[in-house]
Amino acid sequence: MPRRLAISIAALTCLSLIPAGAAAAAVPAPTPSGASSVAGVSTTASTTDGVLRLTVADDFDSHASRTTAFVQTDAGDVAVPTSLVDSLSSGDQVTVERDAAGTVLAVEGVPAEVSSTDGAEALGAISGSGTHNVWTVRVSWTGGTAPTTATDPLVSKLASYYSTISASRIKVVPKGSLPAVTIAAPNYGATNCDATAIYDRTLAKIDKTKVPVSRFNHLVLILPDLPDSCGWWGLGSIGASSDGRSRIWMNGAKSLTPRVLDHEFGHNLGLQHSDFVQPGATCTLTSAKQALGTGCYDEYGDPWDVMGGGAGTPDEQTVGFMSSPNLDRIGQLPAAEKYTVRSTSTAKLNVKPVASGRGLRLIAIPYGTRTYTVEYRYAVPGSLDAWIPAAGQAVVVRLRDPNVDHDLVVDYLKANEPFSVAGLKIAVGSTSAGGADVTVTRSADKSAPAIGRYGYWNTEKTYNHVGTVLTSSTLATGYVSVGDADSGIASVTLYVDGKGRASSATLGTTQLKVAGLSQGAHKWHFVVRDIFNNVRTTPDQAFRIDTGGKPKITKSPRASLAKGTVSSKTIPATVAWSASDGCGIVWNSVAGSNGLSRTYYGKPKSLTTRVKVGTNQFGVRAADCLYNTTAATYGPKTKATLDKQSKRKGYHGTWTATKAKKALGGTEQVTKKKKAYVSYKVKARSIGWVATKGKDRGKAAVYVDGRKVAVVNLYAKKTTYAQQVFTKTWTKAGTHTIKIVSLTSKKVGVDAFTRLS
């Protein structure tokens, strides 16, 4: 059970689906359907897009805060239950789903694109580095008085504090006080005393041009003392609010202390609270993976951190150094100053005092959806932590639990003391002004990480027989969540065509993009890796890219003679053509004067057909992956000729005109003499030899233009007549000689020769 810090803890009163275009008449209408997408939201009810904005009202007396959430939309702000945005951050792009009565049903986050980072080490989301301008304005109620406390010195102390904790990377510039304003008194019965109304009424009275819109511009409202029913001392927006500026409300003169202003400014930077685990059996950690209920913490109970209550500091002017986890969240810890545990045991680590401003100041121990952190608090002379008494100098162990979403102090350790629960042990050796020796031992992780819903970031177009098609060279994918039950996520890498192209380690909704992809077919998948190097790989997702341009017929359709049965009216042939497109040809249509009419999906391929004896012509069209379709392209006319060999011509050796009813001319020239041959000279683009096949048939060599090009075996178990047993085609017509030479004493016959012009 964690112990309470044995120092004075006084109660403080401070602190894109586009329909396919109409294709040409012969192209069947494609049926696109929305592909799975991460960013897509159900449209069963009305939906509105906007930006999530959060504010936190701090009541340090009751040790409780109130978070309000609303979504900034073009039509105005929409209040949403905080229970629906627990996993989201202020500033996220979101979609609000409401029923017909206007009740908010869901809020789905679509955060901005996340750059590559090592999420196992990075605890936070937003950098606070840069110049922050702070204006103050005193506000009074109509008929009342305005607060009179000077605020400029307070803002100067704010500037000094954040410059110190950030090594001057966060620069706060006091811009002075704007003219005081008088507005209508707020509704004291509202949850937060109409804080939004107070701000809006104030903004309407000041010169807004003096406070440009930026999250780096902070407007601090100094209010009269509000009644106790308001229940808060300070209130701040988490990051920018709906007007794009960062907001702080200060409730009366009693709130005008560095502790309150520094705390609310931390909210403006995006920070949540730092608390203390309540004592009690139901809240005692027994396992490193144990979830803590929301009733197991004392809000603001962390006495060391500015985002706690500051209990234990000697006065209202003293604010301790910001904790290492919070420094990391706002980007103020360089990589050399933090260490992530990635094995079952670590070597002895010397953790430097946080207030030293240098060296190793943070140990992070990811454990599933939880992260333990270790820092060392020591009263470094002359530092912001000089106030810490000996009892408060300790190694502080915190836990970020998803049920709470705040840091929880679970223990603080002196020299030679351990923190131990099942699965995790943190042992402290010697401690001194120079640092604390810390050793971490944890259970091994042998299981693969998990990934929740994932897919295309947008609702991409899909087509039957094609799949997903992008009209941009940029692939945008994403996932809703990743996690690891026993350690932490090291990386989520997007692989495209087998190569890692983009990486992140953000646990929540994340977009990963790859630009500059070529047109054509691709594949992508995710590889999720935990810090123990266990891997989860998702299945490949196929997609195509088409960034413009129309498909082209690059070679017009032409027929070539083919093997098969010849008749007196038709000859077997194939029709071939070619087409090209950067994304690929996915659909073809071909028609011919011979009656051929065929449509098919896929790349261009030669089709088997029968040309008429006489003149033939063919036309084709093709479509790319978006079903852009070419105009009909026609090939040249070609004449098919059947030269029956009933009469002897060009034969050498012993050949006999053998009668056969199924022969094309009623007879076939047949030889049984080895080396007997026939020569056939003709002008053509494609020529063929027609013969009978059967059990009594032998082999023959085929010569074309004096060169042996084939040996044809006419043997078959069943006799078949008028078979085109050999063909030869050239790119253009010319004069050629085909010579058939018998190689055996079995029958070799010539029924006919065929040709195409």
Domain presence at residue 436:
yes
> Which residues are CB-contacts of 572 (< 8 A; sequence separation ≥ 6)?
561, 562, 563, 564, 565, 566, 608, 609, 610, 724
Statement: residue 12 has pLDDT above 60: no
Is the C-alpha dihedral spanning 252, 257, 263, 269 positive or negative? positive
At 168-191, the pLDDT tens digits run: 999 999 999 999 999 988 877 655
Cβ atoms < 10 Å from Cβ of 415 = 14
What's the whole-number mean pLDDT along residues 299-311?
88
Between 116 and 660, the higher pLDDT residue: 660
> Which residues are CB-contacts of 383 (< 8 A; sequence separation ≥ 6)?
321, 353, 355, 356, 357
- 3-state SS assignment for residue 149: coil
At 30-52, the pLDDT tens digits run: 344 444 455 443 334 688 888 88
Whose structure tokens read 């109130």? 66
What's the whole-number mean pLDDT along residues 313-331?
91
Same domain, 192 and 104: yes
Same domain, 631 and 656: no
At 564-612, the pLDDT tens digits run: 999 999 999 999 999 999 999 999 999 999 999 999 999 999 999 999 9
Out of 17-21, 487-491, 527-531, 618-622, which region has the weakest mean confidence (pLDDT)?
Answer: 17-21
* Nearest residue to 159 via CA among 220, 212, 223, 208: 220
Same domain, 386 and 519: no
Same domain, 293 and 437: yes
State how far the Cα of 707 lies from the Cα of 47, in Å rounded to an integer: 76
Domain presence at residue 1:
no
Between 316 and 585, the higher pLDDT residue: 585
CB 646 within 8 A of CB 666: yes
What's the whole-number mean pLDDT along residues 732-747?
95
What's the whole-number mean pLDDT along residues 526-551?
95
pLDDT at 660: 87
pLDDT at 121: 31
What's the whole-number mean pLDDT along residues 460-475?
91
pLDDT at 37: 54
Provide the pLDDT confidence category of residue 21 given band limits of 50, 70 and 90.
Answer: very low
What's the whole-number mean pLDDT along residues 134-147?
86
At 349-367, the pLDDT tens digits run: 999 999 999 999 999 999 9
- Could you tell me what percent of the chain has a pLDDT over 90? 66
Same domain, 313 and 371: yes
Same domain, 98 and 240: yes
pLDDT at 422: 94
How many folded domains does the chain comprise? 5
Is the C-alpha dihedral spanning 603, 605, 608, 609 positive or negative? positive
pLDDT at 92: 76
> Which residues are CB-contacts of 313 (< 8 A; sequence separation ≥ 6)?
259, 303, 319, 320, 387
* Ramachandran class of 26: left when φ > 0, alpha when ψ lies in -120 to 50, beta otherwise: alpha
Whose structure tokens read 């799975």? 36
Same domain, 512 and 491: yes
State how far the Cα of 28 lies from the Cα of 154, in Å rounded to an integer: 73
pLDDT at 77: 84
Averaged pLDDT of the chain: 87
What's the whole-number mean pLDDT along residues 136-143?
90
Asked which of 235, 270, 305 is the last residue of a domain, the reply is 270
Statement: residue 28 has pLDDT above 70: no
Strands 170-183 and 618-624, by their bridges, are unpaired
What's the whole-number mean pLDDT along residues 683-689?
96
Q: Give the angle subtended at the CA of 123 by the CAs of 122 and 127, to the nearest 5°.
A: 75
Same domain, 492 and 397: no
Q: What is the CATH number of the domain that holds 593?
A: 2.60.40
Single-letter code of the amino acid located at 49 = D
Statement: residue 516 has pLDDT above 80: yes
Domain presence at residue 21:
no
Tokens of 507: 């646990």
Same domain, 193 and 46: yes
Asked which of 505, 525, 545 is the last residue of a domain, the reply is 545
State how far the Cα of 24 lies from the Cα of 621, in Å rounded to an integer: 9
Statement: residue 195 has pLDDT above 80: yes
Domain presence at residue 29:
no
Domain presence at residue 734:
yes
Expressed as residue numbers, the domain containing 329 is 274-442
Same domain, 148 and 225: yes
Tokens of 209: 């041009």
State how far the Cα of 491 lies from the Cα of 524, in Å rounded to an integer: 16
Whose structure tokens read 């209040």? 79
Statement: residue 29 has pLDDT above 80: no
Same domain, 526 and 670: no
Element (H, E) at 200: helix 195-205
What's the whole-number mean pLDDT along residues 542-558?
93
What's the whole-number mean pLDDT along residues 439-456?
94
Element (H, E) at 328: helix 324-329
pLDDT at 1: 39
Asked which of 614, 636, 658 is the last residue of a domain, the reply is 636
pLDDT at 713: 97
pLDDT at 378: 97
Out of 120-124, 125-129, 134-138, 423-427, which region has the weakest mean confidence (pLDDT)?
Answer: 120-124
pLDDT at 191: 58
Please tell me the pTM assigned to this model.
0.74
pLDDT at 101: 84
Domain presence at residue 19:
no
Domain presence at residue 183:
yes
pLDDT at 665: 83
Length of the chain: 757
Burial of 735 (0-12, 13-18, 19+ CB in 10 A): exposed
Q: What is the CATH number of the domain that holds 143?
A: 3.40.390
pLDDT at 743: 96
Q: What is the CATH number of the domain that holds 514?
A: 2.60.40.10
State how far the Cα of 552 lies from the Cα of 732, in Å rounded to an integer: 22
Domain presence at residue 33:
no
At 224-253, the pLDDT tens digits run: 888 777 778 899 999 988 889 999 999 988
How far, rounded to the nearest angstrom, does the alpha carbon of residue 387 sit from its chain's CA centroid? 47
Statement: residue 704 has pLDDT above 70: yes
Same domain, 122 and 106: yes
3-state secondary structure 596-625: CEEEEECCCCCEEEEEECEEECEEEEEEEC
pLDDT at 160: 97
Between 50 and 415, the higher pLDDT residue: 415
pLDDT at 117: 30
